[in-house]
Every structure is written in C-alpha cells, then in structure tokens.
Amino acid sequence: MGPAPSSAAVRYAIVGAGMMGQEHLRNLLEVEGAVVTALVDPHERSLTDAQGWLPAGAEVGTFADHRALLTADVCDAVVIATPNHTHADVLLDLLDSDLHLLVEKPLCTTVADCRRVMEAAAGREAVVWVGLEYRYMPPVARVIRDVHAGDVGTVRMVAIREHRFPFLPKVGDWNRFSRNTGGTLVEKCCHFFDLMAHIVGERPVRVMASGAQDVNHLDERYDGAVPDILDNAFVIVEFPGGARGMLDLCMFAEASAHQEEVGVVGDEGKVEAFLPDSVVRTGRRVDGPAGVVTEVVHDPRVRHEGFHHGSSYLEHLDFLAAVRAGARPTVGLDDGLWSVATGVAAHRSIDEGRPVDLAEVLEES
C-alpha cells in the first residue's frame, strides 16, 4: 500500500477493544481525516463497551479474529492494542498484508519475538509504528526539544520518576503475570527506557537494577497462582558517551503530587517536566536558582487529553501523516526492540544481582 490520498479519510481497525483499544478509539474519533471502520476482539463485552463510544449512526464492522481483516477490505490502518503476549502473533499475521500498523507498547514481551517481527517487516513499504507515546506528552516533548537544541549542554544525567497506582484490572487480569506482560520493567517501563535513549541520542550499553514485589496483588490468586509482577524498582541505564539514566518506579504511591517527573541535567543546565501539572522548569548553571523559568506547557492541537495528557492524540497525528506521505515511522521497530531489551536486562539484573550488558540480551535472540 502506497501513500494514502491526502483528501481521502484513512480507515482504521482497532484490534483489542479493551481499555487501551477504547482509548485509541476515543482519540481517533477526534482526528480529522481518520475514521474507525472496524473493531476486533474475541470478548463480546469489550466490543460492546467500545461501540458505546461511537457516535450515533456510525457503521463499524465487528470481528472476533484479527485475521478477518486480511480479506474483509474494511481498513487501511490497524491499531493493535491486544494483551502484550499476543503482539507477536498478531503482528506476524498482519505484516503479511499492505496495511499500516500501529502496535501498542511493548512491541513484544521478549527480544526474540521483537526480532521475529522485525525480520517479517523487512522491506515492507507500509508503516509499522510502535506506540511509545510518552515522547508526545507536551511537557516531555518540550524537554526533548530543549535538550536537543543544546539548552542544557551535553547531557550527563536523565532522571525519571513514576510514582503511581497499581496495575488496573484488565480482561482476565492477564497483566498480573510476567509471562503475559514481559515483566513490569518491560510492560510499563519500556516508555521510560525509550525516553532515556531518545533524550541522550544513544542506545544503552549496560543496566543495573534493584526491585521487588512488596505490596501489590499479593492477596490475589488465579488458579492458585500468586501474581509475580514487580511493584517497585530503581534502574540505572548507562550510555556509551558516559551519560546515565535513572528510573525510580513505585506502583503503590497514590499519595503523590506528581505521577511522573522527567529531569535532564547537562554540563550547562537543567530542564525538568512534572505531570499531571504540565509544568516545565528550565535553568542554567550560570544563573543559579534565581534564573529558573517555570512554564505550564500544553499543545493547542490536542483535541482529546485521554489517559496520557494528549500524547496519544499527538501520536496519531504523526502516524496519520506518515501513512498519508508514505514516510518512515517516527517511532519504529528498532525503538521498540531497544526499549524491550533494556527492560529485559533490568529484570535479569534484579534476578541475578549483577550488571547486565545490552549486548548479552541482544545476542541471545
């Protein structure tokens, strides 16, 4: 499939009509030039709930199996928002088509599956995009812009803190087990590892981590099994040029003023973002504390704030532009692979009590 005509609406199917599928649906309903024409999910309740967001009179096909899209001719682009452990199989089926694809994070739950998907996508003309939308949060995007403009000089440290609520219930509570999610540091934190690498402008080389499951879900049982997902961790990520990233994660921290904080310190200054306040603070060493500038940052293009401060909406604008232009994705499969590999290395570091080189993780695939 080549570039979509600029005057024609791009038809979207959403595969996985649960919480994130419905989030994408609500965003796409606000994107000019996008029309949702199909919903895919084997769970009738999810389909019904998703249909509840549609405007009156909307004609949307419903399917129980994503493979029906290969012959139904109902869409030009597909958003994949199924459980993590299904991403590889869904992608491998749909890559054998000329449909444009946006897959929710993480790309896959293992590095080996990421590699399989990348091999299957090699040489493909249609867009394959990975939904690492935290890059698009307006305050975070401002931090990235300012850092890449040289406002803080050479980046030496990237500090990301997420202090939030536990994992939410999902269909069958599939997200309670690492075998389905890839582990918390893959499922949840691939966003943050992607941000670190994007801000620094390098791929990571080594990871050191400490973490545990101390509070959440310990009283839950599924066929007699106790959930095994981490609920807190510290992760240090090293980059070849000497910069370091630090993730501070806690998922039993509802009593937090800021759910996310992103700070970047260079040899000339510092810039940081705070969410959900959308505050960005910037300062230079030569000016000291008195020179720190505080600004509330929003993007006037956002027509749907959603779960992630408008980032999914802005991501969809870029995805649609790439589909129309036949352009390369801004966030591609390689970004998805590295974000997963960093999370895998972090889990291994915790399990084995040692630093883990990314080369070790990548070579095993």
Structural domains in the chain, sorted by start: 10-133+313-330 (3.40.50.720), 135-304+340-363 (3.30.360.10)
Structure tokens, 292:
């720190």
List of residues 6+ apart from 46 with CB closer than 8 A: 16, 17, 18, 21, 171
β-sheet bridge partners, residue 186:
none
Amino acid at 18: G
Place of tokens 């080389």: 205
Instruction: Give the count of beta carbons closer than 10 Å to the beta carbon of residue 365.
Output: 15
pLDDT of residue 6: 57
Structure tokens, 281:
């603070």
Amino acid at 342: T
Could you give phi then psi for residue 201, rounded to 5 degrees? 85, 20
Asked if 108 and 90 touch (Cβ cutoff 8 Å), the reply is no
pLDDT of residue 272: 98
Asked if 192 and 247 touch (Cβ cutoff 8 Å), the reply is yes
pLDDT of residue 365: 63
Place of tokens 């649906």: 25
Strand duo 279-284 + 269-275: pairing: antiparallel
How far apart (Å, rounded) are the C-alpha atoms in residues 27 and 306?
Answer: 7
Structure tokens, 103:
């897959």
Strands, E, within 285-353: which ranges?
A: 293-296
Asked if 253 and 233 touch (Cβ cutoff 8 Å), the reply is no
pLDDT of residue 4: 55
DSSP 8-class letter at 97: S
List of residues 6+ apart from 142 with CB closer than 8 A: 273, 280, 297
DSSP 3-state of 285 = coil
| Residues of the chain with confidence (pLDDT) below 70 | 1-7, 365
Asked if 254 and 168 touch (Cβ cutoff 8 Å), the reply is no
- Which helix (H) or strand (E) segment is 26 a member of? helix 19-28
